[in-house]
Amino acid sequence: MDRQRKIEKIANQSGRVSKVGNLEVHTNSIHPDYALEHCDGILSETGKLELLKLVPKSGTGPSFTARWDQKPQRLDIDMHDASTTAAKKFKAEQDGYSGHHTERTSDPHKRVFDVTITVPTGTVFDGSVSFSNTYEEIIRLQGTSRVTATANVIRANPKPDSG
């Protein structure tokens, strides 16, 4: 699907999360070479809704983005700036890579996700992320109107009565 079609599809979806707020990150541990960055938490025109990033302080090495996944309604983590093989292993949670899928805590009244990101060399992040969602609904209204008009014909050159 090309970019424009994706934008149109996203614009016509109803019942989706359009932004997140009240973002709270509780860190149990973070690798000393990484820093947390908050994202704007607003749905992009192509459907991405990013909450936060873990970026290497040195500027080199893999980075991680936490994003809201609309259909399963969960927080997913994506790996960037790494080899295709490493990114695939992270997504599949193989060979020492894990953290793509997060687990929501058992409290049904709170949206809190446990996040643990690991690579073969160790843990990058361990903690929890909570936030509130703002849902957007599209409401379409259709109306019908009717106009009635009455017309009187007035001739421009009336004929005189011949009576």
Domain ranges, ordered by start, for the chain: 3-136
pTM, 2 dp: 0.74
Give the separation between CA 68 and CA 78, rounded to whole angstroms. Answer: 11
* Residue in this structure with the two tokens 């999360």, named with its chain if needed: 17
More confident residue, 148 or 5: 148
- Residue 61: Cβ within 10 Å count: 16
Query: What's the distance, Cα to Cα, between the start and end of the chain in Å?
Result: 81
pLDDT in tens, 32-47: 999 999 988 887 776 7
The confidence score (pLDDT) of residue 142 equals 73
pLDDT in tens, 84-122: 999 999 999 999 999 999 988 887 778 899 999 999 999
